[in-house]
Structure 1
Amino acid sequence: MPRTLLFACDLSAENRAAFARAIRLAVDNGARLDVLHVLDPHLPHQALRDLESAVVAEMERMMLDLREDYALPAPETLIQTVTGAPYAEIIREAHERDADLIVLGAHRKRGQPELVGGTTLARVLRGAPCPVLSASHPANQDWQDVLVPVDFSLACRHTLRQTLKRFPEARLTLLHAWDIPGEQELGSDSGYARWRDREVERLRQQLEQEVESVMAELGDVPELELELEQGDPGEVLLDRLRHQPPDLLALSSHAQLGRHGHLTQRLLAEPHCDLMVCRAW
């Protein structure tokens, strides 16, 4: 039975890149692509019926245009509309269809993290039963470099496993950042420096053991690089994205990085790359 990719289409111009990416993913993975648009349930019944036909026709036209633009074959496709609250219907449909992945466009409130929390994208990221991909880069841009922030949590382990499974040909960079206690007060002390170096080496060995454990479960894995950086984890990640953005960032839905707490809203408001958020279990 083929896997199902669920693409939530809002018919906007900004949504086109995500639509094209969803088509390509479905083709590349031999999956069925379910295209969904959520209508306002408070419209009059006749208006809903007329609007449904127009929306389905527009989604079919967009899909044909994108396939021609990117020279993509036609995957098995199901195009539908439903009524209700967009985020709730997307989550419900993902459950009912046993979706392997939800694809959404990047939200349009860039540079405004305080406005992101209540958006459809942010709510779907919090409640989805499967990984959610927020795509804004052209579908013909390959995901060759994938960045995965890592720690020692089960949530991060699950995200790494999902990433390794989905992108077997990519180059994965595992980034671990940490704050070392006493650095500001004792950074110039030679004894402290020796202790810090031992701690860094211990961290590297622990992370390498974690990675090897996941690799042993999956068999063939792509090229991996492990990077350790000192500093607030959230700020280290954001600085990395600004100066050396990957093609794709893979993150746990429960990521709590650094003193700024939940990082997802900042990443959605400042998208430097496509983003895949995996549930924590």
Structure 2
Amino acid sequence: MFNRIVAATDIVTSGDAPVISAARLARQQDARLYLLHVMESASTENRRLIRHFDTGAEMITDAGYEQAIRQRLEKTYEKELTDIPHETRVAIGYPWEEILRWAREIDTDLVVLGPHSTRAEEKGVVRVAGRVGSTVENVVTRETCPVMVINRTLRTDQLRFQRVLVAVDFSRSCECAVSFAAALAKHFSSRLMVFHMIPVPPFPKYTRDDYTADVAHSRKRLESFYETYLDGIDHQYLIRAGAMPHLEILACAGDSAADLIVMGSHTKEKPGKWYPGSAVERVAYRADCPAMVVTDPGALTHWDLTVTADDGEGKDRLIHVFSGT
């Protein structure tokens, strides 16, 4: 399924969950792992002015220091990297730019990141609840391939992705996510759960009968939109009512013991959109399992996949509620 995996970390002296998990996934998939560490400087005048990874003292980096970091990374992750084809790179600049640069250079098919910098306090960065951080934001909004956000280290059995939840809202990006999730489920022999949330108007305007009608209407639309991608895949449709999509997605993932959440980001559907989307950010920030974000139809080409031709106005992508009246 995956052949070239990029994992980025800002930690040098101790294990980082995204790198360890990416290494275990690479071993399982017989993939090549590309481990990246970016030396980020707070100086706008000299980007080579950084803090030593061990002492914290300010210094000007050089080839010798970069080699020392590379060797330290190899030692830190020695156990996980044993017998895995891999390459370690140390770069200077903005992390998201260097991640994108290397991902495109090697034509990777998966980028693995943490939801926020583990060195945020040291860098003077203020973490905002529900925000995945600028590095993930910038990679997701610009990268074509899937981006997997990992909060905690995953065991090898958790990386077999036996229960995959894909959250949909009938948008084009979610259709891409379903196509990708179906290929992933087929590869791992997984059960695929297609989730949709009905946004519920306040009671008493919205009755139980309205909800029942909307569930039936939504199920028919889910089948109409996605059944073509799910042929031969063990799957089910899950529908919930709620007001905040990320809470319902997380609750459904927990209730269904999902090993992976797949989501489509709307970043490339409208020009000028510079953030992944609130549901994507909040799910990735809080999820116990990995969250994989698909932003672009181009992500599907690695697996010889595509999405069906969009018939424009004939394909209604709006979310409808209160259909019982």
TM-score range, shorter-chain basis? Answer: 0.7 to 0.9
Structure 2 contact 196–238 (Cα < 8 Å) conserved: yes
Structure 2 contact 130–282 (Cα < 8 Å) conserved: no
Normalised TM-score (structure 1) = 0.80
Normalised TM-score (structure 2) = 0.70
Alignment deviations for residues 104-125 of structure 1 (CA, whole Å, 9 cap, x no partner): 134247x954583643223222
Q: Distance in 2 between matches of 1:54 and 1:183?
A: 63
Equivalent position to 1:121, from 132, 136, 139: 136
The structural deviation recorded for 1:183 is: 5.2
SS of corresponding position for 1:246? coil
Match in the other structure for 2:289: 273
Q: Distance in 1 between matches of 2:147 and 2:14?
A: 17
Higher share in helix: 1
Amino acid at match of 2:131: V
Asked if 1:34 corresponds to 2:50, the answer is no
Equivalent position to 1:99, from 108, 122, 137: 108
Q: Distance in 1 between matches of 2:137 and 2:250?
A: 18
SS of corresponding position for 2:229? helix
Does the C-alpha gap of structure 1 residues 66 and 31 become closer, same or farther in structure 2, counting only changes over 3 Å? closer
Match in the other structure for 1:147: 165
Q: Distance in 1 between matches of 2:180 and 2:36?
A: 24
Match in the other structure for 1:75: 84
The structural deviation recorded for 1:56 is: 0.9
The structural deviation recorded for 1:61 is: 1.4
Amino acid at match of 2:264: S
Structure 1 contact 91–129 (Cα < 8 Å) conserved: no
Match in the other structure for 2:94: 85
Structure 1 contact 21–138 (Cα < 8 Å) conserved: yes
Q: Distance in 1 between matches of 2:128 and 2:14?
A: 18
- Tell me how many residue pairs correspond in the alignment: 261
Does the C-alpha gap of structure 1 residues 265 and 197 become closer, same or farther in structure 2, counting only changes over 3 Å? closer
Alignment deviations for residues 217-266 of structure 1 (CA, whole Å, 9 cap, x no partner): xxx43x2121111222333224335665522111112289xxxx622332
Unaligned runs of at least 5 residues, structure 2: 41-46, 51-58, 121-125, 270-276, 298-325
Q: Distance in 1 between matches of 2:197 and 2:14?
A: 33
Asked if 1:179 corresponds to 2:199, the answer is yes
Amino acid at match of 1:42: R
Does the C-alpha gap of structure 1 residues 242 and 214 become closer, same or farther in structure 2, counting only changes over 3 Å? closer
Match in the other structure for 2:272: none
Match in the other structure for 2:313: none
Does the C-alpha gap of structure 1 residues 13 and 134 become closer, same or farther in structure 2, counting only changes over 3 Å? farther
Alignment deviations for residues 156-214 of structure 1 (CA, whole Å, 9 cap, x no partner): 011111122224222221111112557532527xxxx2x65344222212212323211
Q: Distance in 2 between matches of 1:163 and 1:139?
A: 21
Structure 1 contact 117–123 (Cα < 8 Å) conserved: no
Amino acid at match of 1:121: V
Q: Distance in 2 between matches of 1:13 and 1:212?
A: 47
Q: Distance in 2 between matches of 1:267 and 1:90?
A: 22
Q: Distance in 1 between matches of 2:197 and 2:113?
A: 29
Asked if 1:254 corresponds to 2:266, the answer is yes
Q: Distance in 2 between matches of 1:14 and 1:173?
A: 36
Q: Distance in 1 between matches of 2:23 and 2:96?
A: 21
Q: Distance in 1 between matches of 2:279 and 2:260?
A: 16
Equivalent position to 1:224, from 212, 230, 235: 235
